Structure formats: C-alpha cells, structure tokens
Structure 1
Amino acid sequence: MGIDVARGIAVLGMFVVHVGVGWEAADGSNALYPVVSGRSAALFALLAGVSIALLSGGSAPKQGKDMGVALWRVVIRGLIMLPLGTALTMLGTGVSVILAYYALFFVLAAPLLWERWKIVAGTAAVLAFAGPVVSFWLRGLATGRGSLAGPVRAVDAYDPLVGWSGEGVVDFLLTGAYPALTWMPFVLAGLAIGRLDLRAVRVRWALVGVGAVLAAAAYGAAWVALSVGGVRERLAGSFTGGIVERYGGQGLDETLSRGLPGTLPVNDWAWLVTAAPHGGSPLEIVGAGGVAMVVLGVCLLVADRLWVVLYPLAAVGALALTTYVGHVVLIWAAERGVFEGTVLWWLTSDLAVSVLVGSLVFATVWRLLVRRGPLEGPLHAVSLWAAKRIP
C-alpha cells in the first residue's frame, strides 16, 4: 500500500503541473508548482522501476522460466504503452505524456532483471552523471550545423511516430521531455530499491535517510555553484535570444525555479551544474531521485498505520494508468469544448477540481468494488497471457 500511496502522490503532482491543482502564491503563481515540477515525474519513473522489480519477484527474484515470463511481461507492458502514449500525444493537449517513453524504459531495464541490486544501483549512479554529459554533447552535435543534425533529421523524416504525434525514437532516446539517456537512472534506481526487503522497517528508514542526504547534497551543490561559483552570472549572459524562445520565454531565475522541458540548453556547459527541475542535469537527477526515495520511504512507514486515511490516495496510485489517461482526455475535452452546452458542462468548468476530486472518488469506489482498474486489468491480462506463450 505504501508504494500505491507514493504513486498516488506522483499522479497528484502531475495534476498540479497539468491542470493547476494547488493554491495561489503571493505572486499569483501556483505555490505547489515549483515543489512538484520535475519531481513528480521522477517519482513516477522511480516507482516504475520498483514495479518492474516486484513483477519479477522483488527481494527474491524469480528463476528460470518464471523470470523469463516476468521479463516478457515487462517488455510487453512497455510495448503496450507506446501506442497508448502516442495516441494521447496526438490529442495535442500540450501535456508532455510520459507513457510512450515507458516503452523504451521497460525494454532497457529488462536485461538487468537478473542482476543484483548493487549492480543495478551502481549502473543508475554512473548513468546519473554520465548520461547528462553524453546527452549534452550529442544534442550539441545534433543542433544547427552539427555533424549529427543531418542524420537526426533523416531519422525523424522516416519515423512514423514523428508524423503521427511529433515525438519519435530520437525524442525517446535523447531530445524529448523524458529522454532515456537522462531518465533511466530513476527507473534503475527503482529497480534496485525493489530488490530490497521493503517490508523491513530498517530498509524504509534507510530510503528516507539516504534519499535526504542525496537531495541535500545535490541541491546544496547546485546552490553553491549558482550563488558562489559565478554560474548564475555566466548563464545570465548566455540566456538570450533563441535560448529564451526555446525554453518558454521565461527569465533565467524563473527557469531555474519552475523548470525546463526535459533537456538542458546546449549553449554552455555550466548548465550541467544547475539543478533546474526537469532539466536532466546530474545534480537534478540526484536531487529529484533523492526526494523520490524520501517520499517512498515515508509512504512505506506511514501507510500501514494510516491506511484508512490514505486509502483514496493509494487507490489513485493503484489506478495510476487509468487516472493518468483519464485526466489527459479530460484536458482535451476542455480544450475542445466537448461538454459545453451539455449536462456535463461542469466536468470542465473547473478542471483542477474535477480532476482531483473525480480521480480520488472514482479510484476509491472502483478499487473497493472491482480491484484492478479499467486499464490496469486488461494490461495485466494481456501481458501475462502473451508472456506465457513466448518460448
């Protein structure tokens, strides 16, 4: 239940970003936005890794044919996410849909199902620092007249996913909102955590302690670099023109607070020592990953004692796929005025309230009466049926 509660928090964090759940700060902005920006998606990705681990046996990994079935279930689930995520992106809501990226995350994580948790954790740590550096270098070569610009355009030209939704293989790997090169550390960290005995209280406290240290060290280092190391002044001098337009027309301070669209600007290596939310720098990955570990550890500690109070939140987490898809569809309906002039007009009159209350109520009732969600059930059945029939 603690894992479901944590996943529910991640989903609600995405609601803050997508539909404005929260309250107004003194400057008129959403007070919760800077808190959850980037971190809710990182928690979502880390919990995806935990789910992969639990699917394959948790702290007692499956062996032989059973592990083979688990591996194919992971891969098949990822492949199902691809058309679903692409379809949601094609709605054109402006939401950076993470589901299509899951296809690549799951496929890349599958070969590590057999490895010990320390190996997986070490791989995640190496990628947390190496991934952003490689991404920065490759994206620099892929922009303007760089040596990779032509090949990238050629791949995009023949990628049907780009034609359908605007996001294709290059986005999933390198340039999108959740590129695998900088997001796999979250998934692999979750896979390593899922191999631990999460029922043990000492493990839960370890997640809180280690996560807090990682978050404090990463965000502290970024603060020192910006405030003392002269990085802020250096970036301010380069944050002009096309860079501002590419990253939402925000000023530097607002960008560092509210976040980036999944990747760092490639005009200055100094971006790699910032911790801007959703930017994919090493310090942001470590910091957001640490926060995700703290949230998971706390949820595991309190869920057993407060299960009555937390049940609606856990229900949202258990029906995360359904509630995620549902809120994107509702955003699309609001933008197209689908319910205007009908008896359902109230569904889109205040999206924040409709999405928040509707998700909590629907998930709670469905969980009590049916258990698996309307999308989770078919996903479970199809992946299990297909995996058992693969030699």
Structure 2
Amino acid sequence: MPSSSEGPGETAVEAERPVPEPEPSADGSAGRAAERAGGGDPPAAAANGSPSPARGRRGSGGDRLVGIDVARGLAVLGMFVVHVGLGWTLASGDNALYGLASGRSAALFALLAGVSIALLSGGPSPKEGKDMGVALWRVVIRGLIMLPVGTLLTMMGTPVSVILAYYAVFFVLAAPLMSERWKIVAGTAAVLGVVGPVVSFYLRRLEAGGPLERPIRAINSADPLVEWSGDGVVNFLLTGAYPAITWMPFVLAGLAIGRLQLRRTKVQAALVGVGAAIAAVAYTASWAALNVLGGRERLEASFTPEAMAEHGGAADVGEALKEGFPGTVPVNDWAWLLVPTGHSGTPFEVFGAGGVAIAVLGLCLLVSPYLGWAVYPLASVGALALTTYVGHILVIALADSGWVDGTPLSFVSSQLAWTVLLGSLVFATAWRLLVRRRGPLEGPLHWVSIWAAKRIP
C-alpha cells in the first residue's frame, strides 16, 4: 500500500549546504566553488548552513538558502504522515494529512536530491575538469553507499518501502548529466516524465505473461538483493516502489533547479509560479480525462481484483484512486495512465507531484529568511535527513518488535507518531546547536565520499 512507499528523497544523501562548500578542490585550491557560486556568506553561516541571529534581512547571504533545508524538513514531516500516521482523524476515519502527503512528500525528497547533486558540483557555476570528476564520483559513491544501507533497512521487515537502495540507481543515472546545461537537464526531465511512465507500462505488460516474463524471472532469481530484501535491479529500474524509469524526472528537475541562481527573489518566485502552474495543468487534465472524457468509466468497466492484486489490492476504482498505488499501476488497461494518484507512476502524477514539489521549494526559499529561528527545528531535521530517516525506520522496527511493550519505553509503540516527530525535532535541533557538525550519518557519508572520490584516477 502507498502508506509504506514513502521515502527520503534527497534525504537519502547528506543534506548539502545551501551553497557549495569552500572545500579543497582536486588540485588543492580552496574556496573556488563558493566564489563562483556567488559567495560572500558570513563564515559561520557558510560553514554550517544554520540560521544567524540576523534573520529577516533579504541580504543575509547564505541564510536565504536555509529554505532548502526547510523544504527537506517539510518532506520529512510528510514522510511521518505516511509512515506513522502523523496528523489527525476526520469524521470519515481518514487522516486529514494523508491525501496531501502521499506521493508528494516523496517527490519533494527526490527533487531535493537533484538540487543537492547540483550544489555539490558547483551550483549555478558547475565545476570543471578534475573538480567536476571528483564531484561526479562523490555522487556515485554516495549512491553506492546507500545500496547496502537501504538493503539492511529493508531486511528489517518494517511496513516502509525503503528508498535508500534506489538511490544507487538514481545517482548513477544522474551523474552523466551533471555537466550539462540546466535547460538540457530540465528538458530531459520533462520528456522522461511523459515517456517513462508509458515505457514502464508497456514493458510491464510484456512481463505479465508475455515475452519478458521469463527473462525478468531469471534476472530476479540470480539477483542476491532480491533474495536478501525482495528489492533488486528490476525493482530499482522498473517495477519497485520508486522505479527509476518514473522517478528520475524528479531528480533531474532538481538537478536543473540547482543550477539556477537560487539566491535571487525572482528565481524563487518563478519556482512557485511555474511549479503551481505545472501541478494545476496536470491535475486538471487528469480530472478531465477521467471524468469528462470517460477514463473512469473505462477503468470501472475493466476493473478486476486480479489486476489490482499486486498494485495495492483495492476493491474498486474509487478505493484505488483514494488510497494510491505501490509505485506502479495495473497493466490491464491503458486508462490507468490517466490517474494522478500518489505513487502511481503516471505522467499526471509525475507532473502533478513534481509541480507541487517545485512550488514548495520556491515558497520555502522565499519565506524562510523572514521566519528566523522559528524554522530552525524544521531546518535541522532537513539538514540531518539521512540520520532522521534511518532513525525513524529503527524506531518503527522497535515498536513492531514488541520489545518495549510493558516497559517504561512502551510509549514508543503506543505513541509512535509523536515519538518519531518529537524525537526527530529535538535530536536534530540539539545536534545542530551543540555539536554544530554534520549529522551522525551525514558526516561519515561526506568524508568517505570525498576520500574515495579524490583517489579515483
């Protein structure tokens, strides 16, 4: 079910600084990336990306891009809504926030992953030569580190569809486009947003009792990851909860956005306007296709429980559209490609959720400088997103195990949503205030990726 298929988009990677760090380049020079990206931030702000006391001033340099961490923090809260039921219950018995968060928070995570890749490699002024080579390998190495981490978390058997292992594929596929112009990357994202879902539908149709069934079965049988966790190469690319063929548009859109002058108010406002417009067009077009042009009637006529068995198990079309899908739609009727529901992997979902993610990012960039310390806890969660993500999976596993029942820690299972929410906010805020370094997992990921990337010829 979709409630188990929300994950940490960027947040699988280390939360990058608002601007490229003035770290040593491949040839030993320092600070060039920050200078090319329009540096000039106060040293403290540039070093840790945290808010300074002088909030609300539009000229506060790197502080303005604290909005990236705020957006990431919002995505984390959306993940909590889906994974542990954070929110409140309506008269109908539904979580009031579930419909808003399902699918969209994961899309925001993935978009921010692309933004982080862009910032790591120079932001609006991409690195060149060997420096870009080091940045490229850092991205690939980070993705490869996520593969065993994500596999181990998946093997814990929680009801969460862990996204970390998928990032190995996302980052490897994004790496070749790191040195391209943002317009080319954005165009690739737009084209893939339409073509990817259609190709996915066609290939999965060939798999279901068709000529691809035996080859895919053979690949899965030889894939050790499938045996260990149930997620393998085929899932990562085509059939899983976050298949690259339909999730790369989010990552590439973020990569293109990260090449823009995100400090400029006009760019931030443009992200809000463009994102909202994309989402409005996508959702409106989907509604018209389903309710005016007969798409829903066609789905109701062709609906079968067997077709839905591996795609959420909904009892009817209405339930499927309400509850969402586990990453892909059924292949018994092409009209499923018209739905905009979370985790459906259709063109309308890609552009709808992607547009919302772009607008949310732009809005966070616009308003965060005015909110000062009020957004510090949220930004802290965003900055420690990898730690927060892994931590909340461990807490869910602990609650499911029953080990804390009847102990002073029984609140972990009885108040799981509040435990995850408050635990994340308090820990992340305290860490940034007291330790003032990268998170417990973000730090090792950062230094290992740098160390290894600089030693690759």
TM-score bracket for this pair, using the shorter chain length: over 0.9
- CA shift for structure 1 position 276: 1.4
Answering whether residue 379 of structure 2 is matched by residue 305 of structure 1, we say: no
**Cα separation, 1, equivalents of 2:67 and 2:413:** 31
Offset from partner CA, 1:171-198 (integer Å, 9 cap, x none) = 0000000000000000000000000010
What TM-score comes out, normalization by structure 2 length?
A: 0.84
How far apart, CA to CA, are the structure 2 residues paired with 1:348 and 1:215?
37
Separation in 2 of the partners of 1:5 and 1:224? 34
Residues 282-341 of structure 1 deviation map (CA, whole Å, 9 limit, x = unaligned): 111001000000100000001111121111010000000011111111111111112223
> Is the partner of 1:174 in helix, strand or coil?
helix
Which shows bigger deviation, 265-274 or 338-347? Answer: 338-347
1:207 is aligned to 2:274: no
Structure 1 segment 145-156 matched on structure 2, within 5 A: 146-156=210-220
Q: Closer, same or farther in 2 for the Cα pair 1:253/1:323, shift >3 Å?
A: same
* Contact kept in structure 1, 2:114 and 2:251, CA below 8 Å: yes
Question: Counterpart in 1 of 2:261?
Answer: 197
Residue among 291, 316, 327 paired with 2:392: 327
- Shift in Å at residue 49 of structure 1? 0.2
Which of 89, 92, 97 is the aligned partner of 2:157?
92
Instruction: Tell me the amino acid that sits aligned with residue 446 of structure 2.
Output: H
Match of 2:453 among 371, 383, 387: 387
How far apart, CA to CA, are the structure 2 residues paired with 1:93 and 1:347? 15
Structure 1 position 348, deviation (Å): 2.3
**Using the alignment, how far apart are the partners of 1:62 and 1:248 within structure 2?**
44
Letter in 1 for 2:299: L
1:218 aligns with 2:279: no
* 1:342 Cα deviation after fit: 3.0
Unaligned 5+ segments in structure 1 are none
Match of 1:41 in 2: 106
Aligned pairs for 1:178-257 within 5 A: 178-250=242-314, 251-257=316-322
Aligned equivalent of 1:173: 237
SS for the counterpart of 1:105 is helix
Question: Is the 8 Å Cα contact of residues 102 and 342 (structure 2) preserved in structure 1?
Answer: yes
Q: 1:77 maps to which residue?
A: 142
Q: CA deviation at 1:94?
A: 1.6
Q: Kindly state the Cα deviation for residue 240 of structure 1 after the two structures are TM-superposed.
A: 1.6
Residue 225 of structure 1 aligns with an amino acid whose one-letter code is A
Distance in 2 between residues matched to 1:232 and 1:159, nearest whole Å: 38
Q: In structure 2, the residue corresponding to 1:306 is in which secondary structure?
A: helix
Alpha-carbon offset, residue 271 of structure 1:
1.1
In structure 1, what is the equivalent of residue 33 of structure 2? none
The one-letter amino acid paired with 2:444 is P
The residue that corresponds to 2:438 in the other structure is 372
- Indicate which of 78, 83, 86 corresponds to 1:13: 78
Q: Which residue of 1 aligns with 2:26?
A: none
Q: CA deviation at 1:358?
A: 0.7
- 8 Å contact from structure 2 (residues 312, 324) kept in 1: no
Q: How does 1:51-66 map to 2 (within 5 A)?
A: 51-66=116-131
Distance of 1:387 and 1:192 partners within structure 2 = 23
CA distance in 2, matches of 1:178, 1:247: 13
SS at match of 1:304: helix
Which string of whole-angstrom CA distances, capped at 9 and with x for unpartnered residues, describes residues 188-244 of structure 1?
A: 000000000100000000000000110000000001111111111110122222123
SS at 1:265 equivalent: coil
Matched, 1:159 2:226: no
**Residue 347 of structure 1 aligns with which residue?**
412
Aligned 8 A contact 1:178 1:262 in 2: yes
> Alignment partner of 2:370: what SS?
coil
TM superposition shift of 1:159: 0.1
CA-CA distance at 1:263 after TM superposition: 0.5
Contact 2:189 2:253 in 1 (8 A): yes
Tell me, in whole angstroms, the C-alpha distance in 2 between the residues paired with 1:165 and 1:20. 25
> Are the aligned partners of 1:88 and 1:97 in contact in 2 as well (CA < 8 Å)?
yes
**SS class of match (1:246):** coil
Per the TM alignment, residue 368 of structure 1 is displaced from its structure 2 partner at its CA by 1.1
Which residue of the partner structure matches residue 103 of structure 1? 168
Higher helix proportion (structure 1 or 2): 1
> Normalising by the residue count of structure 1, what TM-score does the alignment of the two structures yield?
0.98
**1:273–1:283 contact (8 Å) kept in structure 2:** yes
Give the Cα–Cα distance (whole angstroms) in 1 for the partners of residues 408 and 305 of structure 2.
47
SS in 1 for 2:73: helix
Answer yes or no: is the 8 Å Cα contact 1:33–1:258 preserved in 2.
no
Q: Aligned with 2:184: secondary structure?
A: helix
Aligned residues: 390
8 A contact 2:311–2:328 mirrored in 1:
no
- Give the secondary structure class of the aligned counterpart of 2:414: coil
CA deviations over 1:130-156 (Å, ceiling 9, x no partner): 000100000001112x00000000000
Structure 1 distance, partners of 2:234, 2:180, is 28
